[in-house]
Chain A
Amino acid sequence: MRPPAWLVRATFAVYPEDVRDRYGVEIADLLDGSPRPWRDLGDVAWNAVLERVGTVRYGRLRPYRRQMLALVTFPAVFWVALLILLPTVAFGTLAVGGLVTRGRFGLGPDVSFAAFIPGGLVTIGFVAFVATQNARRWVDSLDVPAPAFLVPTLLGLGCLGVGILPPTVLPYFGGWATVPCWWLMVLVLSARYRTLIRHGRTGAARGLAVVGTPAVLAVTATVHLTTTLFPGEMLFWPMSLMSVLVVCTPFTFAILSAVTPECPRSARPPASRADGP
Chain B
Amino acid sequence: MMAGLSQLGRFSEPGLLIMVALAGGPKHGYAMQDDIAAMTDERPGPGTLYGAIRRLEEQAYIEALAEEGRRKPYRLTDLGRTVLAAELQRMRAVSRTGLRRLATS
**Other-chain residue from A22, A33, A35, A44 in contact with B47 (beta carbon distance below 8 A):** A44
Interface centre among B29, B45, B48, B51 (most CB of A within 10 A): B45
A47 within 8 A of B: yes
Measured CA separation A34–B37 after assembly (Å): 13
Q: Which residues of A contact B47 (CB under 8 A)?
A: 27, 40, 43-48
Contact B45 A25 (CB under 8 A): no
As a 0/1 sequence over residues 50 to 90 of chain B, the CB contacts with chain A under 8 angstroms (1 = contact) are 11011000000000000000111000000000000000000
Q: What residue of chain B has the Cβ atom nearest to residue A39's Cβ?
A: B45
Measured CA separation A46–B43 after assembly (Å): 16
Q: Which residues of A contact B50 (CB under 8 A)?
A: 23, 26-27, 47
As a 0/1 sequence over residues 21 to 54 of chain A, the CB contacts with chain B under 8 angstroms (1 = contact) are 0110111011101111001101111111011000
B49 within 8 A of A: yes
A19 within 8 A of B: yes
As a 0/1 sequence over residues 83 to 101 of chain B, the CB contacts with chain A under 8 angstroms (1 = contact) are 0000000000000000000
Measured CA separation A46–B51 after assembly (Å): 11
Q: Which residues of A contact B70 (CB under 8 A)?
A: 25-26, 29
Measured CA separation A276–B44 after assembly (Å): 22
Measured CA separation A42–B49 after assembly (Å): 13
Measured CA separation A47–B51 after assembly (Å): 7
**Other-chain residue from A19, A31, A50, A51 in contact with B46 (beta carbon distance below 8 A):** A31
Range of interface residues on B (Cβ < 8 Å): 10 to 19
By DSSP majority rule, is chain B's interface helix, strand, loop, or mixed? helix
Interface centre among A26, A33, A36, A44 (most CB of B within 10 A): A26
Contact B29 A30 (CB under 8 A): yes
Minimum Cβ distance to chain B for residue A234 (Å): 41
Q: What residue of chain B has the Cβ atom nearest to residue A23's Cβ?
A: B50
Minimum Cβ distance to chain A for residue B36 (Å): 12
Contact A26 B72 (CB under 8 A): yes
Minimum Cβ distance to chain B for residue A58 (Å): 16
Q: Which residues of A contact B46 (CB under 8 A)?
A: 26-27, 30-31, 34, 40, 43-44
Given known pairs A25-B70, A26-B29, A30-B33, the reply for A40 and B45 (CB within 8 Å) is yes
Minimum Cβ distance to chain B for residue A271 (Å): 13
Q: Which residues of B contact A43 (CB under 8 A)?
A: 44-48
Q: Which residues of B contact A27 (CB under 8 A)?
A: 29, 46-47, 50
Q: What residue of chain A has the Cβ atom nearest to residue B50's Cβ?
A: A23
As a 0/1 sequence over residues 197 to 208 of chain A, the CB contacts with chain B under 8 angstroms (1 = contact) are 000000000000
| 8 Å CB interface, A45-80 against B | 45-48, 50-51
Q: List 23 A-B contacts (CB under 8 A).
A: A22-B54, A23-B53, A26-B46, A26-B71, A27-B29, A27-B46, A29-B29, A29-B70, A30-B30, A30-B33, A30-B46, A31-B46, A33-B30, A35-B43, A40-B45, A40-B47, A43-B45, A44-B45, A44-B47, A47-B48, A47-B50, A48-B47, A51-B51
Chain A to chain B: the 5 pairs with minimum beta-carbon distance, closest first = A43-B45, A47-B47, A44-B47, A30-B46, A43-B47
